[in-house]
Structure 1
Amino acid sequence: MEDVQGIVGTMVESLMASDARHGGDVTNLYKVGQNTSRLLLATGDLVVGWLLLRHAEVALAALQGEVSTADRAFYTGKVAAARFFARTVLPRLSAERAIAEAVDNSLMDVPEDAF
Structure 2
Amino acid sequence: MQGLLGRVRATAEGDEGGEELNAERAALGQGLTAMETMLGKLGESVHHVGLQGNRVLMALADLIEGWLLVRHAAVALGRAKENPGDKAFYASNVASARWFCHEVLPGLEHAARMVERGDLKLMNLPDESF
Say whether the fold is shared (TM-score over 0.5).
yes
Q: Is 2:125 aligned against 1:94?
A: no
Aligned counterparts of 2:80 and 2:127: Cα–Cα separation in 1:
60
Percent identity between the two aligned chains: 37
2:64 equivalent to 1:33: no
How far, CA to CA, are the matches of 2:94 and 2:74 in structure 1?
A: 8
Partner of 1:50: 67
Distance 1:45 1:35 in 2: 16
Which amino acid counterpart does residue 49 of structure 1 have in structure 2?
Answer: G
Counting only pairs closer than 5 Å after superposition, residues 71-82 of structure 1 correspond to structure 2 as 71-82=86-97
Larger Rg over CA atoms: 1
Runs of 5+ unmatched residues, structure 2: 1-31
Query: Which residue of structure 2 aligns with residue 10 of structure 1?
Result: 41
Give the letter for the 2:88 counterpart: A
Gaps of 5+ in 1: 16-28
Q: Tell me which residue corresponds to 1:63.
A: 80
Q: Provide the secondary structure at the position in 2 that maps to 1:103.
A: coil
Count of matched residue positions in the alignment of Structure 1 and Structure 2: 99
**Offset of residue 65 of structure 1:** 3.2
- 3-state DSSP class of the match of 2:121? coil
Shift of 1:109: 4.7
SS in 2 for 1:35: helix
Q: CA RMSD, aligned part only?
A: 1.9
In 2, the alpha carbon distance for the partners of 1:6 and 1:55 equals: 26
Distance 1:66 1:10 in 2: 47
Judging by fraction of residues, say which structure has more helix. 2
